[in-house]
Structure 1
């Protein structure tokens, strides 16, 4: 199984995304079963945020992880830009910790840039590390210029990860950010790695090249997309699924090795960008 190291912790290169989860009471039991299926089959990273369902995702994660050893999990949460200030960050963090039912987060991300200065937000994030409420901090939806600015801020070099949109159909960061993060040893957390549930996701999974590669490996098109997303050793993908069977498929994708021929075919069908693009976000 492919592994990734984040903040000194080695874990499978597939994690558990929870965006859009926790909103439906009728799906709650199945969603909890899906998360637990991932945990029981070796996945460690669970990604949530205070924004997701206004805390409903955090409450769902809290219920799902109750039977397990907290130290075996790697829980990622995120603070909204409007809460990323001296006055509000710790209070926001405390609220999220309470909802998830844990004493600390392994990784706490600045969800995207807002009106608060980077200096102020990073100061607060570092203060939360010193207080033991988070083990490490990182950022999300940051591009190269954001990351370069981050490194000029006091404690900015302590950034443990950057979480960005990344899949075969949204690969703008392949132009420069992927290589920049590799050079600076900052792992990428890839959200929406299969672009599931939208027209792009459907187009990807019904693409003839993707389907042919899947058939050759005896796997599903979604597993091809996930295997592609984690082909670089510093990337962990966090697909979201409410289906326990799909969760098992996600786990197995960490064992898929695409060939150089596979990657060449994918590059021809979904070319790497040749010029800089605005950072894509969902």
Structure 2
């Protein structure tokens, strides 16, 4: 993410990140949240941890209260970072974590959730996801454990990640008394495949779609000199926004979608927070559709 220098864009005094209902749950969740994959960094561990905590706390101050993490991230270290960031503010946060497929047996799912709760220093998760589908354990076994966790009040809602429509249907059929609340999937301008069938399917059933890697891990974000990059810049100038803010706004244009960009630096957190609270025009959306076809 390029450095953001515009004073109006950097100012956080008037930022309010809007919320919308998280699928059928009725819970109001910010449309832009905070992802934490690799937020711990890989150099100067103490400094990296401090910067990550500071970034997450700033995000909370700006209304980015949907925080997504996973037991896989940093082998649990990221959950500990999140715990430090939300200390004293847990009630404000919509907190999400994930179980690895290799841990997703009935007993393994319950044990993994309890480990995550301990690292996160909380008594419950708002949402718990199976990180991706696999053949390690039958989905019925994992979902039975999810229902047990919900019955015991350790999680509020059950979800999945990286599931296609058929896998999502199988997961829902494996549940006896709860509904899938969320499917977390990659969603960015270079990967809009969810719009073909998954997003319509989830919209019909009021399942929230949370898009991760909204900037394509940075590798696939259009360069400023490219035709696509110039388009995003032009649209951004008309709205007083940066290209990345334009992208975030585009990705949350559907009423079922949320996005969880990652940020390690304060200016990037602020930039992300201003990706919402305003609207692209129909002309803007049509131009982006043409420039980044399915």
Where in structure 2 are there 5+ consecutive unaligned residues? 1-16
From 114, 127, 136, the counterpart of 2:157: 136
Q: For the aligned residues, what is the CA RMSD?
A: 1.6
Q: Which residue of 1 aligns with 2:108?
A: 88
From 8, 20, 35, the counterpart of 1:4: 20
From 263, 271, 274, the counterpart of 2:285: 263
Q: Which residue of 2 aligns with 1:173?
A: 194
- State the distance in 2 between where 1:129 and 1:250 align: 32
Q: Which residue of 2 aligns with 1:275?
A: none
> Number of matched residues?
270
- State the distance in 2 between where 1:48 and 1:138 align: 13
Matches within 5 A, 1:57-68: 57-68=78-89
Q: Which residue of 2 aligns with 1:14?
A: 32
Residue 216 (1) aligns with residue 238 (2):
yes
User: Do 2:162 and 2:184's aligned partners in 1 also have CA atoms closer than 8 Å?
Assistant: yes
Q: Which residue of 2 aligns with 1:190?
A: 211
User: Do 2:147 and 2:175's aligned partners in 1 also have CA atoms closer than 8 Å?
Assistant: no
Aligned to 1:167, the other structure's residue is in SS state: coil
Where in structure 1 are there 5+ consecutive unaligned residues? 273-282
**TM-score normalised over the length of structure 1:** 0.91
**TM-score normalised over the length of structure 2:** 0.88
Q: Could you say if the C-alpha distance between residues 33 and 233 of structure 1 is closer, same or farther in structure 2, counting changes exceeding 3 Å?
A: same
Q: Could you say if the C-alpha distance between residues 44 and 83 of structure 1 is closer, same or farther in structure 2, counting changes exceeding 3 Å?
A: same
User: Do 1:22 and 1:59's aligned partners in 2 also have CA atoms closer than 8 Å?
Assistant: no
Q: Which residue of 2 aligns with 1:276?
A: none
Deviation at 1:67, TM superposition (A): 3.4
Q: Could you say if the C-alpha distance between residues 205 and 9 of structure 1 is closer, same or farther in structure 2, counting changes exceeding 3 Å?
A: farther
